[in-house]
Amino acid sequence: MNNNSPIGVFDSGIGGLTVLKQLIRFLPYESYVYLGDTARVPYGNKSDTIVKEYAQQCTEFLLQKGVKLVVVACNTVSAVALDTVRELCGDVPVIGMIKPASEAALRSTINGKIGVIGTRATIHSEAYALGIKDLLGGGEVEVFSQECPLFVPIVEEGMANHQIARLAAEEYLTKLKQTNIDTLVLGCTHYPLLSRLLSEVLPDVILVDSGEHSSVDALRLLAEMNLLAAPREVFMQKHPIEFFVTDVPSQFFDLAQKFLGFAIDSPKTIDFREFAKNG
Ligand code: DGL
């Protein structure tokens, strides 16, 4: 791996494109390989064992592409399978979502009350609650967690601005509202698309976007390792991104554009069953 090697990014589907968007914002000169396991999404309601197995396959695929960094652009994988990914990666550095967002939440909170929302698997793992407490090393902070399983399908159905999203948000956030949190970690790739609504339901609460803070960490890490790509002309240029998916569902291009903010070329489809046989 060298400075010109691509950054590998993977997610259970296209939600990780919100993370890729942030990566491009902070690391515009890099090239990327993005893998979305669209055939098996969602991961958020699957068991840890299955998520680890899928994460292993996604990581092996990216490593074969010669990436210089693996970004686990999925909170669920980051919560339950980061060790699996790190083990496979060896010398290739890995950035997950939990630590950068936990650090950002600790920087943001004034009253020491932090909320975390995520998929069922992320919340059940307690990765954020434990991660935040770990970083604090004994200080006083309270973490209030809430799983929000309906948010992912609501966003994927294009209903982020629909009444249904508001009803779900009010239902999920009622308890969090009563806790007087001043900071809320958006512990899922899809939730940045609900930011406006979440800010309306929880006014005066700072929202922490895990994709944004992990991208800053990716920039720092590559700079420390002297692995940044050289600056080049990027204005009006297409970003060098190779897209891979395990299925191309209907609505794929619409959704991808919504998550990423610009249109993408047709992705290449890979079949993990074939990949396993040949790998
Ligand atoms: N990408 C997942 C996450 O950030 C959400 C979608 C899923 O459940 O797979 O947790």
* Helices 252-260 and 17-26: angle between axes, nearest 10 degrees: 40
Is residue 154 helix, strand or coil? Answer: helix
CA distance 209 to 202: 15
Please, which residues bridge with residue 207 across strands?
184
Instruction: Give me the chain's average pLDDT, please.
Output: 94
Distance 2 CA to ligand 1 centre (A): 30
Predicted local distance difference test score (pLDDT) of residue 255? 87
Predicted local distance difference test score (pLDDT) of residue 276? 62
Please return the burial class of 223, using the count of CB atoms within 10 Å of its CB with bins 0-12, 13-18 and 19+. exposed
More confident residue, 143 or 136: 143
CA distance 116 to 107: 15
Q: Is the pLDDT of residue 268 over 90?
A: yes
Q: Is the pLDDT of residue 128 over 70?
A: yes
Q: How confident is the model at residue 198 (pLDDT cuts 50, 70, 90)?
A: very high
Q: Is the pLDDT of residue 238 over 80?
A: no
Residue 45 in contact with residue 124, Cβ under 8 Å?
no
Predicted local distance difference test score (pLDDT) of residue 261? 87
Q: Is the pLDDT of residue 65 over 80?
A: yes
Give the E-state strand segments of 45-164 in sequence order: 69-72, 94-95, 113-118, 142-147
Sequence-separated (6 or more) residues with CB below 8 Å from residue 40: 12, 54, 246
Q: Is the pLDDT of residue 236 over 70?
A: no
Distance 74 CA to ligand 1 centre (A): 6
Predicted local distance difference test score (pLDDT) of residue 277? 62
Query: What one-character-per-residue DSSP string does 80-108 give?
Result: HSHHHHHHHHTTS-EE-SHHHHHHHHHHH
What's the sign of the alpha-carbon dihedral 264, 94, 123, 57? positive
Predicted local distance difference test score (pLDDT) of residue 140? 87
- Best of 18, 21, 38, 119 to mutate for ligand 1, by most ligand atoms within 8 A of CB? 119
Predicted local distance difference test score (pLDDT) of residue 258? 87
Predicted local distance difference test score (pLDDT) of residue 141? 94
**Catalytic-residue membership of 148:** no
Is residue 142 helix, strand or coil? Answer: strand
Q: Which residues line ligand 1 (CB under 6 A)?
A: 11-13, 15, 41-44, 74-76, 119, 122, 152, 188-190
Kindly report the pTM of this predicted structure: 0.95
Least confident of 5-14, 33-42, 91-100, 246-255: 246-255
**Catalytic-residue membership of 188:** yes
Q: Whose CA is nearest to atom 6 of ligand 1?
A: 42
- Best of 76, 148, 194 to mutate for ligand 1, by most ligand atoms within 8 A of CB? 76
Q: How confident is the model at residue 144 (pLDDT cuts 50, 70, 90)?
A: very high
CA distance 95 to 68: 11
